[in-house]
Structure 1
Amino acid sequence: MALVNYEIDDGIAVLTLSRPEKRNAMSDAMLADLGAAVDRAAGEARAAVIAGSGKHFCAGLDLSEQVEKSVMEGIAGSRGWHAVFTRIQRGAIPYFIALHGAVVGGGLELAAAGHVRVADANTYFALPEGQRGIFVGGGGSVNVARLMGVARMTDMMLTGRVFTADEAERYGIVNYLTEPGGALARAKELAKLAAKNAPLSNYAIVNALQRIHDSGYDEGLFFESMIASLTQATPEAHERLRAFLDKKAERLAIPTGTGVSS
């Protein structure tokens, strides 16, 4: 039985971690299933959602598989996580992560590999690796630290601090909060919005922004010019720009209360 369920609806792939009896702890077999699902989504979806079945998103690494691993086996396992998570983070389509319950250890590392995170009000976040005598191995030292900052991540790992959903939003870990049970529906809504974009624009957004941010100032501006010119020169961009100028495109959804109309 697959440990990651896969379905596609109107161009949106939904990947659901399906090991609820273990709080969706990431075993080697589940990681392999996740990798296969990610590869499938890359070939047939315009956006994707990752969610967890049962009461929790993901409680992290399956520690029962790690107790007797050698150093080299541990390195191979960590690099396996990196390989799958990189295909999420640096692939062709955007990933929206629906969070609820425990987002702990490797679960937070998986969430950080996505592009937009939605959490319901009952979600909690932790990095208890320090208490387990281990260290993050699924890209957390890079990706999670980029979201919340090194100081907050250090605090979590040293003290076992647990963040609420409200704190996670305040600290940049989460983009959207919902009522309990609402994260998956909201993540799907957002994925459908992103799926309407030009595929090349989405590819540039998920692949270029972080790289530009990580580069030097002049290099970043140069990369931006090249990518902007590339996207603007495509037939799809020309068609979309003409539709906007002819007032045939969707207008901005301006929030109520601004006193400004579209």
Structure 2
Amino acid sequence: MDSGDGTVTYELRDRVAWVGLDRPRKRNAINDALLSDLAAAARRAQEEARALVVFGHGPCFCAGLDLSEHRTREPAEVFHHSRAWHATFSVLRRGRIPAIAALHGATVGGGLELAAACHLRVADATAFFALPEGSRGIYVGGGASVHVARLIGAPRMMDMMLTGRVLDAAAAERAGLAQYLVPEGGAREKAGELAAKVADMAPLTVLGVLQALPRIQDMGEDDGLFVESMMAAFAQTGPEAAARLADFVAKRGAKVSNPSEG
């Protein structure tokens, strides 16, 4: 396992890159060193993995910005600091492989922004979510205005910022912050299960889901449907599509089943 300067761990297992925030005594609070190491780990994963899991070592996923290292900055410095966060999280969000966040304990402020930059989020029963920037007299700067607001809607985000409301894991799942809710201690296992599944997907399908689908959300209806048709045509040119469709027709492929019957 590689660990950079101690702020992030990296391990490649069975086509899945495991990226761990590793400042447990600081509740994995994000400082500039961690941000840089996270970007490097995410870029490495794009080259050698088929899926990526981000998790936190220690008592929580991430408690947000490291306020102990925060200092007064001029407005221009704040702007560029914020843009550095955007650039790092963009490596996950706009990368070529699916990123899955395994969440436990505090997923707060910048930690929530990091989770929102991933494509899938698994929360265990101990996870809780907040955007405390408002109560601290500052504003979010790691992408929450776009990514968190798109997950839960601007009114819910306003509530969290204006009142300091904290969502437990169940409320977060209902609001759309997490797609999966698992028992305490189960987030990494479930994230690994999902990562193994998506690592086996046809690359052109993954490309469509990661690159086309988010952009379609920003388009008008006609343009979005046009891009969907183009992506459908493109994906079907891949050798995996023909093989998997043939398996299904020959009854060798898995059928969709009712999970309540499993």
TM-score bracket, normalised by the shorter chain, equals over 0.9
For residue 10 of structure 1, the aligned residue among 14, 20, 25 is 14
TM-score (norm 1): 0.95
For residue 235 of structure 2, the aligned residue among 231, 237, 246 is 231
2:188: which partner in 1?
A: 184
Q: 2 CA distance for matches of 1:37 and 1:150?
A: 31
2:165: which partner in 1?
A: 161
Q: 2 CA distance for matches of 1:91 and 1:253?
A: 31
Pair 1:95 & 2:99 matched:
yes
Instruction: Please give the per-residue CA displacement for 1:20-41, whole angstroms capped at 9, x wherever unaligned.
Output: 0000000000000000000000
Number of residue equivalences: 258
Q: 1 CA distance for matches of 2:204 and 2:18?
A: 21
Q: 1 CA distance for matches of 2:49 and 2:6?
A: 20
Q: 2 CA distance for matches of 1:20 and 1:172?
A: 27
TM-score (norm 2): 0.95
Instruction: Please give the per-residue CA displacement for 1:199-248, whole angstroms capped at 9, x wherever unaligned.
Output: 12112101111211221000100010111100011222122222222222
Q: 2 CA distance for matches of 1:76 and 1:253?
A: 49
**Structure 2: which 5+ runs fail to align?**
none
* Contact residue 91 and residue 203 of structure 1 kept, 8 A: no
Q: 1 CA distance for matches of 2:207 and 2:126?
A: 32
1:257 deviates by 3.3
Instruction: Provide runs of 4+ in structure 1 moved above 6 Å.
Output: none
1:95 deviates by 0.8
2:221: which partner in 1?
A: 217
Instruction: Please give the per-residue CA displacement for 1:84-127, whole angstroms capped at 9, x wherever unaligned.
Output: 11110111000111000000000000000001110011111000
**Structure 1: which 5+ runs fail to align?**
none
Q: 2 CA distance for matches of 1:65 and 1:157?
A: 22
For residue 133 of structure 1, the aligned residue among 120, 137, 160 is 137
Percent sequence identity is 54
Q: 1 CA distance for matches of 2:254 and 2:88?
A: 35
1:253 deviates by 4.5
Pair 1:201 & 2:205 matched:
yes
